[in-house]
Structure 1
Amino acid sequence: MTVRTDDGRQAAEQSPATGALVARLILVTLLMAELLIQVDQTIVNVALPFIQRDLDFTESGLPWVVNAYGLLYGGLLPLGGRIGDLFGRRRVLIIGVTVFTLASVVCGFSTDPTVMVIARAVQGMGGALTAPVVLSLIITSFEEGPSRQRAFALWGSAQAAGALFGLIVGGLLTSGPGWEFSFFVAVPIGALVVGLAATTIKESRADERPSIDVAGAVTFTAALLMTVFAFLDTQRSWTSPLRGGLLVVAAVLFAVFLAVERRQGHPFVPLQVFRLRNTSGALAIMAIFGATQMSYFFFVTLYLQEILGFSALQTGLAYLPLIATLLVFAQVCMKTVARVGLTRMLMTGLLCLGLGMGWLGLAASSGSFVGTVLGPTIISGIGLGLTMMPAGTLATTGVDPADAGAVSGLFNTAILVGGSLGLAVLTTVTQAVGGLGGTHGYTVAFLCSAGLAAAAILIAALVIRVPKQTDAAA
């Protein structure tokens, strides 16, 4: 394992036993931080009716308990990654987790809707600082090859499983001590992550420390925030002047951003990474993957509750087969990718995810858990377990360590923004065919998601190119 110290020099070599122990502690710390961020994206969903009752939220205001977090988290991810590159990834990790944890405490003690929404926005800011530096610390702490791929496999499992654990833990806590503990649970985990990060992770940053590209950061972040806001604002139709105006302004800002970046010596988002064929392909695949994954969780959760009549706790428990399958096949992926190859493993994962969504669509009218959900859940879990590691490896192989934070921010942003965009589009499609009052709307949503997975497979086949020696070393 190689890391860089504050001044950019390589740290001294350690004995094999000590180095292995330190590597495990670093990985545990990073996985806990990732799990903390991902769990929070869904843990609050189960508690929303109780939060509405206790804090007197209006129906139009309640979605902002979720949207305030998603808006700041999605819009600031690339900025968080770049800040980590410039000012120290360990430092930014500690700051991000601390901000996230303190905001969680405020959420738990909230007695007013405004305080809750503001605290959720601050949580999103903490998450945006944390998530990209977790991935960039994996890139900089583990050398290319089996050790980094193992870390990516476990990171992918933590990212995908975190959202599912959030549903289960949220159901248990809301049904037990109360919705406040859905936020308080972050306190011991956040404190442990901060303590471990401060004692096990060596500081790393880009070898050169240029000033932040303010113009690029402002235009890109503003454009991304407007885009995410436009897709999250489901209270308005797609033809509303506000939604359309935001998207037009976002497009103009993106154009200005590209013009600014071409003239920057040290750009906010290094455009040269998009010249790497595999990085660009993997980012596009992750955007589609995010749309498929988020649509799966959203529509399956509604199907279980609205069609099958499951309670919040039963809904969370219904995802246990998916969690178990995901964790098992993440390990299978790690152990067999050297024989299968990165591209074939990625395509196999996407194929399983597509098959699971297609099966859900075809079986939606049966109206039973075993007949409709259980089989597709297992197939989709296989797909989730096989996809994240090869995608993360392909996106970051050959990337300059100085750009690790920027690429990791883009990777996470692709998943989140792709998920928001895809879910918004699929929700619009289901409303056009009659909504989700019956099984027909779910059939359309699941089959469209299967089509998205097929598009991702096509990109993998046409764009991704991995030399044989790279696959052999995987």
Structure 2
Amino acid sequence: MPTHGARPALVLVSVALAQFTATLDMTVVNVALPAMDAGLGLGRSLSWVVNGYALAFGGLLLLGGRAADLFGHRRLLLAGTALFALASLGGGLAREPWQLIAARAVQGAGAAAFVPAALALLTVTFAAGPARHRALGVYSAVSAVGGSAGVLVGGLLAEYAGWRAVMLVNLPLALTVVGTALAGAPADRGHRARLDVPGAVLATAGAGLLILGVVRTGDTGWTDPGTLATLGVAAVALAAFAVWEGRAAQPLVRPGLLARRAVAGANLFMLLLSAGQFAAFYFVSLYLQEVLRLGPAEAGLAFLPMCAVVYAGIRASTRLLPAVGVRALLVPSGLLSAAGFGWLALLGAPGSFAGDVLGPSLLLGAGLGIGFVPLTAAATGGLPPHEAGTASAVLSSSRQLGGALGLAALTSIQTAHTTTLLGQGDPPLSAATSGYALGLALAGALTLLTLLTTPLLPTRTKTTRTPTADPRVQEPT
């Protein structure tokens, strides 16, 4: 139901900028890691500058989404953004390794609060139909390009302003989010219900341990006893969460939410797409810097053509969605993305950006761009306002978990393949390129699996009336 008294343009700016900030920070530190290591002496803790953010963000998303529904979407957006800004300031002023890692973890916690709150605020501000589709188009555009922009921004800042600027750049972004939210979004009281504390504990522990276990595989492998124990406890916690949610009077995630065909299909699609996308971006970044010998700023600029095509795909899908429906857009999205990954898998050494990266990255960008808006619409459409935050958090969790699992699994395979080739006497560049190619081919295979979700995806929309939803809301069927 659209929120009365809202200033939609300012709400859209606040929501879009919040999502951009969160996705930017998933990648902005990647190319600055060597400079951070040189400045603070992070050593073996270096990977936790990335992993600390991912762990807190992914582990706390479901709790953040439910808290937004209970305590108010604007309230959680403001609180989460303020926490994120303070953590960014702390990271920029860090003098010890642990201070930077702790700041990144607190950033992740802040993002877990404001990301689902932002998307929920968008869905309750804009009425279902063309207005919401256009708003989702803007939201999806900044979400899609944020990760690639992070590589570019991080490279430029690390090269010309120092690694501390990579953390401090978040401050003006966060202040703008807070200012536009205060000016454009009216205060909301949330939904009168109790927070499901046992469910929150089990969900946070399960998701956090799953991400931690997957992250550990990069250093210890999949057979390490500690890693297996971590993954085992995560599985037990998530199973207990599923059982508890079926019995709780006021569950963290209503079981009926995931029983909706559109919600289940969109989240499965997002899980598989992210598993391929996160790993593929990682491999391409390494190929650009290690094989083609591009500097951090040049490697970031190499992603700009794909970003432009992603934006064009989002614009096109925003216009087509009301006419053709979700499924008609997500099927070509999966096919084009898989084809882009497959084409990238043909990269060579020595190679070139124009010959090995540009063409397939444009095809991949088209596939990704076409998919974001219908995925978001299917996962959050037709729901009452008091569940908008939870549905947003579930979709974000699918993206985070899919990305973490895909990145860990495919990099493990890529590393093992490269090591085998080096042992057989292959030249280092050839062995590395072959490993990246294998990882990209598997990313394409994972993306093809998204087509298995098509029976769950809605083919059209219809107007439905329910006691808990605005009669103008269009519920996917």
Q: Is the 8 A contact 2:292 2:350 kept in 1?
A: no
Amino acid at match of 2:447: A
Tell me, what secondary structure is at the counterpart of 2:187? coil
Distance across 1 between alignment mates of 2:349 and 2:292: 11
Q: Is the 8 A contact 2:276 2:406 kept in 1?
A: yes
1:213 maps onto 2:196 in alignment:
yes
* CA deviation after TM superposition for structure 1 residue 430, in Å: 1.4
* CA deviation after TM superposition for structure 1 residue 205, in Å: 5.2
Q: Is the 8 A contact 2:210 2:231 kept in 1?
A: yes
Amino acid at match of 2:2: T
Which is worse superposed, 371-380 or 149-158? 149-158
Amino acid at match of 1:371: G
- Give the match for residue 310 of structure 1: 294
* CA deviation after TM superposition for structure 1 residue 259, in Å: 2.0
> Which of 325, 330, 335 is the equivalent residue of 1:346?
330
- Give the match for residue 8 of structure 1: none
1:224 maps onto 2:207 in alignment:
yes
- Give the match for residue 123 of structure 2: 139
Which is worse superposed, 94-103 or 348-357? 348-357
Count of aligned pairs: 454
Which is worse superposed, 347-356 or 410-419? 347-356
Q: Tell me, which stretches of 5 or more residues in structure 1 are unaligned?
A: 4-10, 13-18
Which is worse superposed, 233-242 or 196-205? 196-205
Amino acid at match of 2:37: Q
Q: Is the 8 A contact 2:10 2:183 kept in 1?
A: no
Q: Deviations for 1:362-403, whole angstroms, at most 9, x for unmatched residues? A: 244562111110001111111121111001111122223221
Tell me, what secondary structure is at the counterpart of 1:164? helix
Amino acid at match of 2:448: A
Distance across 2 between alignment mates of 1:162 and 1:247: 30
- Give the match for residue 448 of structure 1: 442
Distance across 2 between alignment mates of 1:432 and 1:122: 33
* CA deviation after TM superposition for structure 1 residue 204, in Å: 3.4
Q: Is the 8 A contact 2:136 2:373 kept in 1?
A: yes
> Which of 304, 313, 318 is the equivalent residue of 1:320?
304
Distance 1:132 1:52, change over 3 A: same
- Give the match for residue 154 of structure 2: 170
* CA deviation after TM superposition for structure 1 residue 246, in Å: 0.9
Correspondence 1:82-93 to 2 at 5 A: 82-93=66-77
Amino acid at match of 1:164: S
- Give the match for residue 124 of structure 1: 108
* CA deviation after TM superposition for structure 1 residue 31, in Å: 0.4
* CA deviation after TM superposition for structure 1 residue 438, in Å: 2.7
Distance across 1 between alignment mates of 2:10 and 2:205: 37
Q: Is the 8 A contact 1:140 1:204 kept in 2?
A: no
- Give the match for residue 178 of structure 2: 194
Distance 1:243 1:85, change over 3 A: same
**Structure-1-length-normalised TM-score:** 0.92
CA-based RMSD of the aligned residues comes to 1.7
Which is worse superposed, 404-413 or 254-263? 254-263
Q: Tell me, which stretches of 5 or more residues in structure 2 are unaligned?
A: 420-428, 464-473
Q: Is the 8 A contact 1:84 1:205 kept in 2?
A: no
Identity of aligned residues (%): 36
Q: Is the 8 A contact 2:57 2:109 kept in 1?
A: yes
Distance 1:399 1:469, change over 3 A: closer
Q: Is the 8 A contact 1:153 1:330 kept in 2?
A: yes
Q: Is the 8 A contact 1:55 1:111 kept in 2?
A: yes
1:114 maps onto 2:98 in alignment:
yes
> Which of 99, 102, 111 is the equivalent residue of 2:86?
102
Which is worse superposed, 187-196 or 90-99? 187-196
Q: Deviations for 1:2-40, whole angstroms, at most 9, x for unmatched residues? A: 21xxxxxxx36xxxxxx7xx2111101110111111111
Correspondence 1:252-331 to 2 at 5 A: 252-331=236-315
* CA deviation after TM superposition for structure 1 residue 458, in Å: 2.4
**Structure-2-length-normalised TM-score:** 0.92
Q: Deviations for 1:173-192, whole angstroms, at most 9, x for unmatched residues? A: 11112111111111111111
- Give the match for residue 383 of structure 1: 367
Q: Is the 8 A contact 1:205 1:402 kept in 2?
A: no
1:439 maps onto 2:447 in alignment:
no
- Give the match for residue 16 of structure 1: none
Distance across 2 between alignment mates of 1:368 and 1:57: 33
* CA deviation after TM superposition for structure 1 residue 240, in Å: 0.6
* CA deviation after TM superposition for structure 1 residue 338, in Å: 3.0
Distance across 2 between alignment mates of 1:431 and 1:439: 11
Tell me, what secondary structure is at the counterpart of 1:238? coil
Tell me, what secondary structure is at the counterpart of 1:399? coil
Distance 1:279 1:364, change over 3 A: farther
Amino acid at match of 2:203: F
Q: Is the 8 A contact 1:364 1:442 kept in 2?
A: no
